[in-house]
A = this chain, B = another copy of it.
Amino acid sequence: MVHNFNAGPSVLPKTVFEQASQAILNFNNTGLSILEIGHRTSLFQNVMDEAIALVKELMQLDSNREVLFLHGGASTQFFQVPMNLLSEGETGAYLDCGTWGTKAIKEAKVFGNVDVVASSKDKNYSYIPKGYTIPAQAKYFHYTSNNTIEGTQMHSIPDSPVPLVADMSSDILSAVLDFNRFDLIYAGAQKNIGAAGVNLVIVNKEILGKVNRKLPSMMDYQQHIANGSMLNTPPVFAVYVCLLTLRWLKEQGGVAAIEKINNKKSELIYNTLDSLPVFKPTVAKEDRSKMNVVFSMENPELEKDFLDLCKKEGMVGIKGHRTVGGFRVSLYNALPLSSVEALTELMKHFALQHA
């Protein structure tokens, strides 16, 4: 039994693996692999249509929001967003609350000015800045809703006088939110949505078409909307895995139902960490991420022992990011509660041994 706590690419539902594996041999009883069907066939059009419809349904999107499945990962969106929204000389407002936000800021500077409204760099991004003002003359305000590496998460949507843009790569579809308050949401698929190699982009079409720069076709959201995410050959298999995962999420009862389980998982592990002095959670309590639990040990010399024990017990992916150290336990939608139970039991066992 393997418990997969990887930060991404990460665990997906077992039924998704089974169905994806089967579709590679014989997709929908066509005698063809999902890898060899034409993307302009009704076979694949049905996949794309259902995936888009499920995103709209699960996120309860209004009719202004367009759903796109685009090549690349969030790093592609770091530059595609300002390329589409920011003319030279104009300013994008950014919240600097972690590694990924920092990268998004760097890419925005290629296309325009950046106003960093607040930063938590002073304390290694171990908290979410609060009490900042978003300038009304900015073209948009961008933030990272969950910081995969540092283990912090925004627990409310900021009021913004300008279009709101969020990188939700590592917490999309994990909790109920009013997604219609956002003008652009993007997320690499490889955490809560599917397999690596595709981006989910949700955009309010009203904010597009205002930039005064020539856009390459493949970078132009409006062209992708006009072509239903099929401006070119889409990443067929990656979109199909998204569809399977979205279907699974709906079968679980949707976002509200998965949020309850996610809350149980994160409460269990944070309560365990807080009760065992051997472990040391590293981020501000009120900003703790429900998706990525980051901690170290009071005695760093014990870290290797704990890592070895985890490995022995089939716990995969709990080593912290190389820039942060310590441990990181990722609790994405598809991670079963039983995996968190197994890990917390191991933590208690280890704490007793080293009390």
| A-to-B contact residues, CB < 8 Å | 1-2, 4, 6-12, 17-18, 20-22, 24-25, 30-33, 35-39, 71-76, 78-79, 83, 103, 106-107, 110, 188, 190, 195-198, 214-219, 231-238, 241, 314, 316-317
Contacts and interface: CB of A to CB of B under 8 A. Distances in A.
B79 A219 contact: yes
Contacts of A18: 25
Contacts of A79: 216-219
Contacts of A39: 9, 196
B83 A76 contact: no
Contacts of A24: 17, 20-21, 24
A286 B144 CA distance: 56
A39 B72 CA distance: 14
A354 B344 CA distance: 75
Nearest to A37: B9
Nearest to A6: B38
A49 B32 CA distance: 30
Given A217-B107, A241-B35, A317-B38, A196 B233 contact: yes
Given A11-B36, A106-B217, A72 B75 contact: no
B25 A9 contact: no
Contact of A4 (B32, B71, B217): B32
8 contacts: A7-B38, A9-B35, A17-B25, A73-B233, A76-B232, A106-B217, A190-B236, A195-B237
Nearest to A24: B21
Given A79-B217, A235-B235, 6 more contacts: A6-B38, A21-B25, A72-B232, A78-B218, A79-B219, A107-B217
A246 to B, nearest CB: 15
Contacts of A32: 2, 4, 316
A57 B103 CA distance: 35
B21 A36 contact: no
A37 to B, nearest CB: 6
Contacts of A11: 36
A37 B6 contact: yes
Nearest to A107: B216
Nearest to A334: B36
Nearest to A199: B71
Q: Which of A6, A25, A36 has the most CB of B within 10 A?
A: A36
Contact of A75 (B21, B188, B232): B232
B238 A36 contact: no
A190 to B, nearest CB: 6
- List 5 tightest A-B contacts by C-beta distance, closest first: A197-B235, A79-B216, A75-B232, A21-B24, A71-B72
Contacts of A1: 31
Contacts of A74: 232
Contacts of A218: 72, 75-76, 78-79, 107
A195 B4 CA distance: 26
A81 to B, nearest CB: 11
B20 A35 contact: yes
A76 B233 CA distance: 10
Nearest to A77: B218
